[in-house]
Structure 1
Amino acid sequence: MQFASDNSGPALPAVMQAMADVNIGHMPSYGGEAPMEEVRDRLRALFEAPQASVYLVATGTAANALALATLSEPWQTVFCTPLAHIHTDECNAPEFFTGGAKLSLVGEADMMTPEDLSRAIAAWPAGDVHNPQHGPLALTQATERGRIYTCAEISALTQVARDHGLPCYMDGARFANAVAALGCTPAEMTWRAGINAVSMGGTKNGCLGVEAVIFFNPENAWEFELRRKRAAHLVSKHRYLSAQMLGYLHDDLWLKTAQQANARAAILEAGLRDIPQVEMVFERAVNMIFARLPRATHQRLKAAGAVYALYEGPLENGPKDEPLMARFVCDWSVSEAQIAQFLEIARG
């Protein structure tokens, strides 16, 4: 009963097979291999952006930090939410790779509104040499609480940014889950909604470790290449990144696995809602559920071997009926049988 993280699951068989397929003989290195050309073509077609610049890195932190460094200057500030991954989970990597650009926190949790963004921008008067200057807007889709912005909401936020001449970046570690939930196209959720650059995550959705970074404005390309190399994220045997992405993209596997993960989470959510003592904290949109269960229920689940993140505690001491918030994540490999077993134990 594994619900800790979509980072914890196995790689997709098709991704493993794609890596085996390129593991023959010699190929050019550092992204000069033929499979990378195919990756570029497929992602440009998928995003309906024939001029887009496409790159691969091995981690989401590298994707976020290097993309934001490309879109900002050291004296600027990046506008993001207090729970954005770039703020809470990346050990100041964005600040490091941008050369010191700060993060300005917008809103109160994992999402922001246009009004929130306007206030945050206004807090730093433009042209004042003593202030951090206005830098990129960074949105997380899906958010750290499993919620998503609609395409209209993204457009409204990017319009505020454009009114101030700011580029817009999307952290898409769970990009596929958001597209699956919205039923939109990648283009509709990105450049058509005003996004200038996006990371399309593969690691959380069945790859071993690969993230695509896509710039819709080709003028950013050379700087990103330099930053990627200087940051030690240009992989020499790049064919194994390309192969993962090819396996992931083939036959829309990226979307099908996200749909499956979301659907499994919907089954788990429905079962939890049927338990009277369970309180849903956020409306589920993708493959993550945040809910409060009584301490006794958590103790029973943990004793039975259930693995998930407990956000409140302690687990051992306190009233048995005290509700404690936890996060439950379904990846593509979680089975309905695992969910049924979990719910049976949760019901007691």
Structure 2
Amino acid sequence: MLFLSDNAASVHPLVWEAMRAADAPDTPYDGDALSAALDERFAELFGRDCAVLWAATGTAANCLALSCMVQPHGGVVCHREAHIEMDEGGAPGFYLHGAKLLLADGAGAKLSPETIRDVIDPIRDDVHQVQPHAISITQASEYGRAYRPDEVAAIAALAKDRGLGLHMDGARFANAAAFLGLSASEAAGPVDALSFGCIKNGAMSAEAIVLFDPAMADVARYRRKRAGHLQSKGRYLAAQLHAMLNGDLWLANARHANAAAAEIAGACEGRLMHPAEANELFVRCTADEREALRARGFAFYDWGDDAARFVTAWNTRDSDARALAEAIASL
């Protein structure tokens, strides 16, 4: 019974079908009909013009989006627990040619205007210090917390006032939107760029870089090629993105994962480190308790010395979620 990560989930059958349907000769790289149609599909989803590029990993999607906003001598304000800081192996520095991550605090791995100002206000406006060029937030955050529209709007207002770009790491964007009951546009707010996560949500190898300033795409395309991410048969990545949008599969999959997490959270009274607002649960339990859960067939990651992280997915079986809930309740 697998609760290690939604990265371990299988590929959704409709995604496989879409890739099979794309299995015919077409223009190489991103010149195929499916890739060309992505701008219109995502503009319809978000209700505003955008340019969309596919990438094979979330790390590449995040870093390529940020590379359009940040010069090598600049910096990106992010939470100190942000994925780009903790889990991308220095990729931001690589893709941004040495730009610095400026680390901020905030409960639940969420930023606020106040914690952002704590980082950028002390920076002198001179060549001796790294100047902020962008802000990056994660929806849902690394602790499974969802940004409300007013929170995103407040950060966007600060970014605009300071002349900074605003990027959203949306690896679990669908889960946040499903939890909040919002449209894609409402869950994203007025960001400049969004990494629209699909791999954790049922895709195989495709993420969408959504650039709400289409002019940024001109830069992003060159940077994607230079980084080795312009795949020769891009239609297979584009097909996955189309499949996720068809019939709002992206949202249905997230709702299922969230429901499984909510089932488990209901048995974790007093143990939850953070409110369950997406598909990640951080649960206080001792080493002996974790061993007891593993002995009953549950796979998950330790979270420090006194907690565990459980992640549900689009294909988490209801029976597995109930079994884990019962097992935690019995500890």
TM-score bracket relative to the smaller structure: over 0.9
1:302 partnered with 2:294: yes
The counterpart of 1:262, out of the listed 258, 264, 270, is 258
**Alignment partner of 1:279: what SS?**
coil
Q: Give the match's secondary structure for 1:286.
A: coil
Q: How far has the Cα of 1:198 moved from its partner?
A: 0.5
> What is the one-letter code of the residue matched to 1:168?
L
Change (3 A) 1:345 1:189: closer
Q: Which residue is equivalent to 1:4?
A: 4
Task: Classify the secondary structure of the residue corresponding to 2:27.
Answer: coil
How far is the alpha carbon of 1:312 from its aligned partner? 2.5
Q: Aligned letter for 1:28? A: T
- Which AA in structure 2 matches 1:339? A
Q: Larger deviation: 335-344 or 15-24? A: 335-344
1:67-86 to 2 correspondence within 5 Å? Answer: 67-86=65-84
> How far is the alpha carbon of 1:61 from its aligned partner?
0.3
Letter in structure 2 aligned against 1:113: S
- Give 1:234 shift: 0.6
Counterpart-to-counterpart distance in 2, 1:84 and 1:344: 32
> Which residue is 1:57 aligned to?
55
Partner amino acid, structure 2, of 1:177: N
Letter in 1 for 2:96: T
Q: State the Cα distance separating 1:160 from its structure 2 match.
A: 1.2
Give the corresponding residue for 2:325.
Answer: 343
Q: State the SS of the aligned residue for 2:6.
A: coil
Residue in 2 that maps onto 1:122: 121
Q: Equivalent of 1:223, from 210, 219, 224?
A: 219
Tell me which residue corresponds to 2:303. Answer: 311
CA apart distance, 1:69: 1.0
| Residue of structure 2 equivalent to 1:328 | 310
Residue 255 of structure 1 aligns to a residue whose secondary structure is helix
Q: Distance in 2 between matches of 1:303 and 1:6?
A: 22
Determine which of 178, 181, 193 is the counterpart of 1:180: 178
Is 1:17 equivalent to 2:17 in the alignment?
yes
- SS state of the match for residue 272, structure 1? coil
- Aligned residue runs from structure 1 range 265-276, under 5 A: 265-273=261-269
The CA deviation at 1:279 is: 1.2
Which residue does 1:288 correspond to in 2?
280
CA positional deviation for 1:157: 1.0
How far, CA to CA, are the matches of 1:225 and 1:48 in structure 2?
A: 23
Q: Which amino acid aligns with 2:62?
A: N
One-letter code of the match for 1:295? A
Tell me which residue corresponds to 1:96. Answer: 94
Following the alignment from structure 1 to structure 2, what is the Cα–Cα distance between the partners of residues 57 and 74?
A: 22
| Structure 1 residue 38: Cα displacement | 2.9
User: Post-superposition shift, 1:121?
Assistant: 1.0
For 1:34 and 1:71, locate their aligned partners in 2 and report how far apart those are by CA, in whole Å. 28
Match of 1:247 among 243, 250, 270: 243
> How is 1:152-163 mapped onto 2 (pairs within 5 angstroms)?
152-163=150-161
Equivalent residue of 1:234, what SS? coil
Counterpart residue number, 1:213: 209
Q: Secondary structure at the match of 1:194?
A: coil
Counterpart check, 1:48 vs 2:47? yes
> Counterpart of 1:37?
36
What TM-score do you get using the length of structure 2 for normalisation?
Answer: 0.96
C-alpha distance in 2 between matches for 1:43 and 1:262? 23
Kindly name which structure, 1 or 2, has the bigger radius of gyration based on alpha carbons. Answer: 1
* Rounded Cα–Cα distance in structure 2 between residues aligned with 1:343 and 1:118: 41
Q: Which runs of 5+ in 2 are unaligned?
A: none
| Unaligned residue ranges in structure 1 (runs of 5+) | 314-323
Does structure 1 retain, via aligned residues, the 8 Å contact 2:106–2:112? no
Partner SS, residue 327 of structure 1: strand
2:142 matches 1:150: no
Which amino acid counterpart does residue 35 of structure 1 have in structure 2? L
Task: Kindly provide the CA deviation profile for residues 268-323 of structure 1, in whole angstroms up to 9, marking residues without a partner as x.
Answer: 111233xxxx511101100111111233321111122211111133xxxxxxxxxx
Please tell me the residue identity of whatever aligns with 1:312: G
Q: Give, as a single letter, the amino acid of the residue that structure 2 aligns with 1:112.
A: L
Whether 2:190 is the aligned partner of 1:194: answer yes
